[in-house]
């Protein structure tokens, strides 16, 4: 599905990605982990074409994405910070995104699921962070696309919404989709991820299944495993 070779990206003097090679062929859920500033979001944005890499190539379904845009029809993206045009109403925003895609959606079902009904006629600027994130999730999951990229999807969610989100992710997984997710909540990762990619200082430090990670670090849960990796790396 996604093939990345020799990806480099600098922001000014700050080298964020230093040669990422990545091949995600499997269906299922891939978690991208790493400390702050390790390049997770940059990597995701590169895949989406929002960040233009300095070097390297990204191919999706065998085609390079450079200067392309149509491939995004196959990707659902949940941005990290839910920033929306403030003076739009929720309903209008959903309508607009639907209008831009011209594809069938199941937005009503999702609105029900997250209890957004009372907010539909409110302006986005008046919503709380968590409600915005729910809107964000609705916008992401309402289409039926083979690939889903989620950047910190749990931010600001209440427990109930978090459960719904996990269900959604599981549901999409069973539909045979490829799901890329970043998160700081290790429990969440442990629960949903099939595979883990650990980024450190712009490089892939670990790639493998959750079990492989635990085995390698000899830890019982992901949280400790990650902590161990980070510790080791600082000694390296």
Partner 1 sequence: MFKILKYSFYDLMRSSWSYVYFLFYLALGFVLLFLNNDVSKAVITLMNIIIVLVPLIGTIFGVMYFYNSKEFTELLLAQPIKRSSIFLGQYLGVAFSLTLSLLLGLGIPFVIYGLLESTAIFDFTLLLVNGAFLTLIFTALSFNIALVNENKIKGFGYSILVWLFLAVIYDGLFLMSLIVFEEYPLDTFSLVATLLNPIDLSRTLILLKLDISALLGYTGAVFKNFFGTNQGLIISLFTLILWTFLPVWRLLFKAKRKDF
Q: Which is nearer to partner 1, 62 or 159 (CB)?
A: 62
Is position 211 an interface residue for partner 1 (rule: CB under 8 A)?
no
Site for partner 1 in 75-94 (CB under 8 A): 75, 77, 79, 83-88
% helix, strand, coil for the chain, step of 5: 40, 25, 30
Residue 168: enclosing H or E segment and its boundaries?
Answer: helix 159-174
Cβ contact 74:60 at 8 Å: yes
DSSP string covering 98-157: HHHH-----HHHHHHHTT-GGGTTSBGGGS-HHHHHHHHHHHHHTS--SEEEEESTTTT-
Angle 209-150-175 from CA coordinates, rounded to 5°: 70
Tokens 């990619």, residue?
197
Q: Which of 101, 122, 166, 184 binds partner 1 (CB under 8 A)?
A: 101
Q: Which is nearer to partner 1, 65 or 197 (CB)?
A: 65
How far is it, in rounded angstroms, from Cα 108 to Cα 115? 10
Q: Which of 13, 14, 36, 100 binds partner 1 (CB under 8 A)?
A: 100
Is position 69 an interface residue for partner 1 (rule: CB under 8 A)?
yes
Q: Which of 50, 55, 106, 129 binds partner 1 (CB under 8 A)?
A: 50
The bridge status of strand 178-182 relative to strand 195-200 is unpaired
Q: Which is nearer to partner 1, 101 or 166 (CB)?
A: 101
Number of residues that bind partner 1 (CB under 8 A): 28
Is position 12 an interface residue for partner 1 (rule: CB under 8 A)?
no
- In whole angstroms, the minimum distance from the beta carbon of 231 to partner 1 comes to 32
Q: Which is nearer to partner 1, 123 or 224 (CB)?
A: 123
Is position 51 an interface residue for partner 1 (rule: CB under 8 A)?
yes
Task: Name the site residues for partner 1 (rule: CB under 8 A).
Answer: 9, 11, 45, 48-52, 67, 69-73, 75, 77, 79, 83-88, 96-97, 99-101
């Amino acid at each position: 599905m996604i093939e990345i070779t020799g990806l480099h990206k600098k922001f000014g003097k700050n080298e964020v990605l230093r040669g990422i090679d990545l091949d995600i062929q499997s269906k299922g859920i891939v978690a991208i982990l790493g400390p702050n500033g390790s390049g997770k979001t940059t990597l995701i944005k590169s895949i989406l074409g929002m960040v233009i890499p300095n070097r390297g190539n990204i191919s999706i379904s065998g085609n390079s994405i450079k200067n392309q845009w149509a491939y995004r029809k196959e990707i659902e993206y949940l941005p990290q910070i839910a920033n929306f045009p403030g003076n739009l109403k929720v309903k209008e925003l959903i309508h607009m995104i639907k209008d831009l895609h011209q594809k069938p959606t199941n937005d009503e079902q999702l609105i029900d699921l997250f209890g957004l009904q009372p907010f539909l006629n409110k302006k986005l600027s008046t919503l709380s962070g968590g409600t915005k994130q729910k809107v964000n999730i609705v916008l992401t999951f309402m289409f039926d696309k083979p690939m889903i990229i989620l950047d910190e999807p749990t931010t600001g969610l209440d427990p109930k919404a978090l459960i719904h989100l996990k269900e959604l992710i599981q549901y999409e997984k069973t539909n045979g989709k490829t799901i890329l997710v970043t998160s700081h909540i290790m429990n969440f990762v442990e629960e949903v991820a099939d595979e883990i990619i650990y980024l450190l200082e712009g490089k892939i430090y670990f790639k493998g299944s959750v079990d492989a990670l635990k085995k390698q670090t000899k830890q019982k849960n992901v949280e400790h495993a990650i902590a161990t990796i980070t510790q080791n790396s600082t000694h390296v």
